[in-house]
Structure 1
Amino acid sequence: MTLNVECMKVRADSGPNGQERRCEHLDMLPDVRHEAPECRPCLALGLPWSHLLVCLTCGWVACSDDSPGGHARAHYEETDHPVVAALDSETPRRWCYVHGRAAL
């Protein structure tokens, strides 16, 4: 923890005005095409899913943590691919598993 000019507590890795810094993992992502809009592990196990996420490193599509399988997180834990995006959203929402926050 550091202090800014006005003696306010600010995280040492924060950006201007205490904002979160841009996720550097976004700079390392290749251009990928995503697979079919389905969670293959859920299909194989007969599980439903609520939201689908696409891995922005390899294009793997899997279910979110809101789903019974949580296969997108399992993919991150297995591969260390850090950033996913919501597949079923008009607004590109991205999540960085490394930082545990939205990837800006």
Structure 2
Amino acid sequence: MSEPCTHLASATVTDLPAAIRGCQECLATGGTWVHLRMCRGCGRIGCCDSSPNRHASRHASRHAATARHPIARSAEPGERWSWCYVDEVIVRTP
């Protein structure tokens, strides 16, 4: 069994925005995505690791030194889970 996530206190953004157009960086560059994730530290919408550019994990790794953006939640309809990039564990969202 995995250890619990030690970064939940940094997850200040919990609710998805009312409207999501897509991965913010892919929209700006004309890229494509498979699934979307939302940073629970700042609310940024990025694409998943199955997407060509992996913007959600790149966002988390860019901010790894500050440990302010370690958790992303699924931004897909009906999905209620998050992923901690530091602890590499799924965090269930109520």
Q: The TM-score by the shorter chain falls in which range?
A: 0.7 to 0.9
Q: Which has the larger radius of gyration?
A: 1
Deviations 1:38-96 (A, max 9, x none): 11211122111110000001000000111111001110111121000000141311111
What TM-score do you get using the length of structure 1 for normalisation?
0.71
- Which ranges of 4 or more aligned residues in structure 1 deviate by more than 6 Å? none
List gaps (5 residues or longer) in structure 1.
1-18
Answer whether contact 2:33 2:48 (CA < 8 A) is retained.
Answer: yes
> How far apart, CA to CA, are the structure 2 residues paired with 1:101 and 1:90?
20
Answer whether contact 1:34 1:61 (CA < 8 A) is retained.
Answer: no
List gaps (5 residues or longer) in structure 2.
none
State, as a whole percentage, how many aligned pairs show the same letter: 33
How many correspondences in the alignment? 86
What TM-score do you get using the length of structure 2 for normalisation?
0.77
* Aligned residue in 1 for 2:48: 64
**Which amino acid counterpart does residue 87 of structure 2 have in structure 1?**
H
* Aligned residue in 2 for 1:24: 6
Segment drifting more, 59-68 vs 73-82:
73-82
Q: Helix, strand or coil: the match of 2:32?
A: coil
Query: Quick one: higher RCO (CA 8 Å, sep 6+), 1 or 2?
Result: 2
- Report the Cα offset of residue 97 of structure 1: 0.5
> Over aligned residues, Cα RMSD in angstroms?
1.9
- Report the Cα offset of residue 21 of structure 1: 3.0
